[in-house]
């Protein structure tokens, strides 16, 4: 993102982002042009290009908001069990449903999940030191990649579900997933 400066620039960025979100309710992201955004927001194309390099950069405003909230939530909690991390993820996601649905509808979830994963890789060694000491960085990173792929799939399903589970219900579901995986491991070790 360009032009990180003053309040006027921030106002313009927010206006552009909100306009793009309104437009995604009416048409697919890939059909929306910079000119469409400029016309709807009643600003010039120059204003958009002064603040953003390309159209997907506009979405980074929403991505940054979601990631910042999740990281805040993560740092405020001491119980960072797998199931509680799932709870924190889904409770954060619940606060940003319209934005996340727009990403999902336009198959742009990876903008969020890639950024979220990068932040998790930065903070995880600090909050889960023991895991890194016990298993090593490579194995823990691979485990995170594996579990994050599952989270991404669950998020997609959760966003389109008619009856969406609460974050607390998702936490309980993750407890069940853990037990299921451990049961599977125990059953295969008997073979």
pLDDT digits (tens, 9 = 90+) for 144-178: 888 888 888 888 999 999 888 999 999 898 888 88
Provide mean pLDDT across the span 37-55: 95
7-53 to CATH, choices 1.10.275.10, 3.40.50.1100, 3.40.190.10, 1.10.10.60: 1.10.10.60
Query: Is the per-residue pLDDT at 25 higher than 90?
Result: yes
The per-residue DSSP string of 7-40 comes to HHHHHHHHHHHHHHHHHHHHS-GGG--HHHHHHH
Give helix 7-26 / helix 55-76 axis angle, nearest 10°. 100
Q: Which has the closest alpha carbon to 141: 155, 169, 112, 121?
A: 121
Look at 167 and 120; give whichever has higher pLDDT: 167
C-alpha span between 33 and 55 (Å, rounded) = 8
Ordered by start, the domain boundaries in the chain are 7-53, 62-189
pTM reported for the whole predicted model:
0.84
């Amino acid at each position: 993102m360009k032009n990180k400066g003053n309040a006027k620039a921030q106002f313009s960025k927010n206006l552009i982002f909100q306009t793009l979100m309104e437009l995604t309710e009416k048409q697919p992201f890939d059909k929306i042009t910079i000119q469409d955004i400029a016309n709807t927001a009643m600003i010039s194309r120059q204003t958009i290009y002064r603040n953003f390099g390309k159209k997907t950069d506009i979405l980074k405003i929403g991505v940054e908001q979601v990631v910042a909230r999740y990281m805040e939530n993560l740092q405020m909690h001491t119980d960072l069990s797998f199931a509680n991390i799932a709870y924190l993820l889904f409770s954060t996601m619940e606060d940003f449903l319209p934005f996340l649905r727009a990403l999902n509808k336009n198959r742009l979830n990876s903008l969020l999940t890639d950024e979220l994963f990068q932040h998790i890789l930065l903070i995880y060694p600090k909050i889960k030191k023991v895991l890194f000491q016990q298993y090593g960085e490579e194995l823990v990173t691979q485990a995170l990649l594996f579990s994050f792929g599952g989270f991404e799939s669950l998020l997609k399903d959760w966003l389109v579900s008619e009856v969406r589970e609460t974050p607390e219900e998702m936490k309980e579901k993750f407890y069940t997933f853990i037990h299921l995986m451990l049961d599977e491991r125990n059953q295969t070790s008997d073979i």
